[in-house]
Amino acid sequence: MSNNIHTPGLVKVDEHSATSATLAIEPLHSGYGMTLGNSLRRVLLSSISGAAVTAFKIEGVTHEFTAVKGVKEDVVDIMLRLKGVRFRVYGSEAQELRITKSGKGVVTAKDIQTNADVEVVNPDHVIATIDDAKGKLVVDLRVEVGRGYRTIEEGSAKKSSDMIALDAVFSPVLRVRYKVQNTRVGQITDLDKLLITIDTDGSISPQDAFEEASAILINQYTALAGKTRVENEEPVSSEGSDSQFGSDVIGDEPTALDTSIEDLNLSARTTNALINNDIHTIRDLFALNDVELRDLKGFGSKALDEVKEKLAELEL
């Protein structure tokens, strides 16, 4: 086994929906599946950039502990529902938005008057219900970009006396689960494969959230590493390992070249002859021509025909 630490790669992304995906990372040095899985999960849940309503003002309302004329919900109910509106903001500046709705009906997130820098991710989210045909609801919103959770005391909106401040959950990642499986590269069989499932609110894709979390960790560790560098194995691409996660290993040529001879289901005599001649993978096999193969000790024409039939079966 090499003394170097393997550099992993993102070998597979299995998208369950637009907001949920499972990513497979391998090969990882033994024990690193749990190490990276836990680190990524914590960063994904706490540090990914997102946008949320941090303050609001309802026309005709002076404080949160009151009712709104012509509206079924009170201010506290509206406040809680505003927290559930998810945004995609293109930029870092705070955005001032407005809702204006007249007449009887349901007020949803699609009624928010956005601009070129703001997109509402869940337009069907219900904010309030106007139950009076002559009723009117006008709400001013402040939407800010941030990370993690921010209390009212920490927010800048608290300084604005004419708006009701909200504590904000900026994180677009709703849930993260991970598990570690065994994997192999060639004859090294004690490596880890990390499967991490990420669910988001739709304002960011699971893969983008994963990449941002990875970048955050890189920045943190690079700052601590100074000038020290550790030699790594070459990274393995999505075609470079014996992954069984959602893909056909045999149908992908670079992965198949690293497949062990023992996994080809050849006869015991042919398999033993190849291994005894230090041929352990299909890549080793391809390094020899027909004449060289026939000259191998314990390997004859019959074994060569068997190998050719197997390679043809695998479309190699």
Domain ranges within the chain, ordered by starting residue = 9-47+173-225, 49-169, 259-313
- 106: tokens are 């349901």
Residue 264, pLDDT score: 76
Give CA–CA dist 297/281, Å, rounded: 17
Pair 206, 20: CB distance under 8 Å: yes
pLDDT, tens digit (0-9, with 9 covering 90-100), for 23-37 = 999 888 888 899 999
Interatomic CA distance for residues 259 and 79, integer angstroms: 58
Q: pLDDT digit string (tens) for 258-283?
A: 777 777 778 878 888 888 777 878 77
Q: What is the per-residue pLDDT across 240-257, written as a single tens digit (0 to 9) for each?
A: 444 443 333 333 334 566
Q: Please give the average per-residue pLDDT across 71-75, as a whole number.
A: 91
Task: Please give the average per-residue pLDDT across 141-165, as a whole number.
Answer: 80
Choice among 29-38, 143-152, 281-290 with the minimum mean pLDDT: 281-290
Max avg pLDDT among 148-162, 164-178, 274-288? 164-178
Q: CA geometry: angle at 94 spanning 91 and 96, to 5°?
A: 115
Question: What is the biggest distance separating any 2 CA atoms in the chain, rounded to whole angstroms?
Answer: 95
pLDDT at 154 > cutoff 50: yes
Class of domain 9-47+173-225: alpha beta
Q: What does 104-143 look like in DSSP terms, one character per residue?
A: SEEEEGGGEE--TTEEES-TT-EEEEE-STT-EEEEEEEE
CATH 2.170.120.12 holds for 49-169: yes
259-313: what fold? Answer: DNA polymerase; domain 1 (1.10.150)
Rounded distance between C-alpha atoms, residue 88 and residue 218, angstroms: 25
Q: Are 111 and 82 in contact (CB under 8 A)?
A: no
Mean pLDDT of 191-209: 94
Average pLDDT over residues 219-238: 72
Q: pLDDT at residue 40 above 70?
A: yes
The answer to whether residues 130 and 103 touch, using CB atoms and an 8 Å cutoff, is yes
pLDDT in tens, 8-19: 888 899 999 999
Q: Give the C-alpha separation, 194 to 182, whole Å.
A: 9
176 neighbors 41 (Cβ within 8 angstroms): yes
- For residue 196, what pLDDT is reported? 95
Position 139 pLDDT exceeds 90: yes
How confident is the prediction for the chain on average, in pLDDT? Answer: 83
Alpha-carbon distance of 8 to 14, in angstroms, equals: 17
CA 180, CA 166: separation in Å to the nearest integer?
39
pLDDT at position 316: 62
State what percent of residues in the chain have pLDDT above 90: 46
Q: How far apart are CA 262 and CA 272, in angstroms?
A: 9
